């Protein structure tokens, strides 16, 4: 599949939290940091993502917001 996002990170699914409609998929990326993706349960099932799977995350920021406390 071709996508426009240039920032791609490989990792392993370490946790999936399922809700009633949505889920959080936690991924440990190369280097040890973790990232999370939120998706519908339908998407999770269609992709067949399970704990322990190797996945690639594509990051495409629509907005970057600076905040000063």
Sorted by where each begins, the domain ranges of the chain are 7-59
pLDDT of residue 4: 65
- How far does the chain reach from its first CA to its final CA, in angstroms? 41
pLDDT (tens digit per residue) in 17-53: 999 999 999 999 989 999 999 999 999 999 999 999 9
Please, are residues 7 and 64 in contact by the beta-carbon 8 Å criterion?
A: no
Cα gap 35→26, rounded to integer Å: 6
Please, are residues 23 and 39 in contact by the beta-carbon 8 Å criterion?
A: yes
Q: Could you tell me which CATH class the domain 7-59 is placed in?
A: mainly beta
Looking at per-residue confidence, does 31 or 2 come out higher? 31
Band the pLDDT of 66: cuts 50, 70, 90: confident
- Closest listed residue to residue 24, CA positions, set 51, 56, 6, 63: 51
pLDDT of residue 58: 86
């Amino acid at each position: 599949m071709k996508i426009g996002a240039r920032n791609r990170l490989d990792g392993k699914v370490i946790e999936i939290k399922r809700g009633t409609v949505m889920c959080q998929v936690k991924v440990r990326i190369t280097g040890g940091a973790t990232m999370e993706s939120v998706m519908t349960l339908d998407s999770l099932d269609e992709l067949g993502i399970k704990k322990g799977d190797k996945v690639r995350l594509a990051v495409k920021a629509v907005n970057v917001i600076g905040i000063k406390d």
